[in-house]
Amino acid sequence: MQTVSNAEFALRLGVGLGCGALIGVERQWRARMAGLRTNALVAAGATLFVLYSVSANDMGSPTRVASYVVSGIGFLGGGVILRDGFTVRGLNTAATLWCSAAVGVLAADGRLVFALIATATVLTVHLLGRPLGRLIDRDNPAEEDEDLQPYQLHLACRLEVEQHVRALIVQHTSGHDLILRGIRSIRADESSGVRLSAHLLLDGDAAARLEQLVARLSLEPGISAVHWHSADDSDTGPPHRAEDGTSTLSEG
């Protein structure tokens, strides 16, 4: 009866773990919920389950275990799918975890070249599929892009510069990497000025780009305070209560 040697066991596990980690690196770089460790562990877990069945010398067992892995990843993927109003987020993350498990199954079965090809395919889809999708849907690039995360930008300004500030926000959010979904203004009276809230969608290193936007707006005369925070935060108060990034100015 053929058994898996220690060296073969380590090789298959290493390939499964490494392929999952490669997929996870791209996800980690884009600041996704499931990053390097999650994808690596999913691939390693799938590899270990199938390797156990292979070492048990049951010819039908690896296939059965692989089907159980698919079901198990389905439950795991369901945990990262979230509904936000009319938008469903996390589908790409769940699909990626599913693919990481499939890569692990291929590696555990000794099909190491197939596992590497599958890993390259998943990475290609992530790297090229998103810009291609935006090119096709260029009229509304944020419509179904679940990878973009919601943020809010709050600022306080004088009433006479409101239109100028609105124009600046639109100008600096016209690119595909920082998408404006709406601006809301609250006017109390002329003495207290105007509070503006901009709803944004960003991807990747959102903090750095939002800080650049805050720094740019802080240079404008008439703006007394500006800050940003994640839309998931409970803080939706006025600009002087900053959570993630803030800049409070004094008018002279």
CATH number of the domain encompassing residue 154: 3.30.70.260
Alpha-carbon separation of residue 228 from 30, 211, 238 (angstroms): 20, 8, 11
Indicate if 104 and 23 belong to the same structural domain: yes
pTM of this structure: 0.61
CA-based R_g, the chain, Å: 24
Report helix angle 6-29 to 36-55, nearest 10.
160
Split into its structural domains, the chain has a count of 2
Q: Same domain for 41 and 130? A: yes
Q: 166-199: per-residue pLDDT in tens?
A: 888 888 877 656 778 888 888 766 666 889 999 8
Task: Tell me whether residue 143 is in a domain.
Answer: no
With beta carbons less than 8 A apart as the criterion, state whether 169 and 180 touch. yes
127 in the same domain as 12: yes
Q: What is the C-alpha separation between 157 and 224, in angstroms, rounded?
A: 6
Question: Of 115, 136, 157, which one is at a domain's C-terminal end?
Answer: 136
Each residue's pLDDT tens digit, 116-148: 999 999 999 988 887 777 677 655 544 445 566
Query: Any idea how long the chain is?
Result: 252
Which of 136, 171, 201 is a domain's end point? 136
Q: What mean pLDDT do residues 10-14 have?
A: 93
Give yes or no for a contact between 225 and 156, defined as CB atoms under 8 angstroms apart: yes
Query: To the nearest whole percent, how much of the chain has pLDDT over 90?
Result: 21
178 and 108 in one domain? no
Domain interval for residue 88: 6-136
**Same domain for 194 and 99?**
no
Q: How far is CA 7 from CA 11, 13, 169, 198, in A?
A: 6, 10, 59, 57
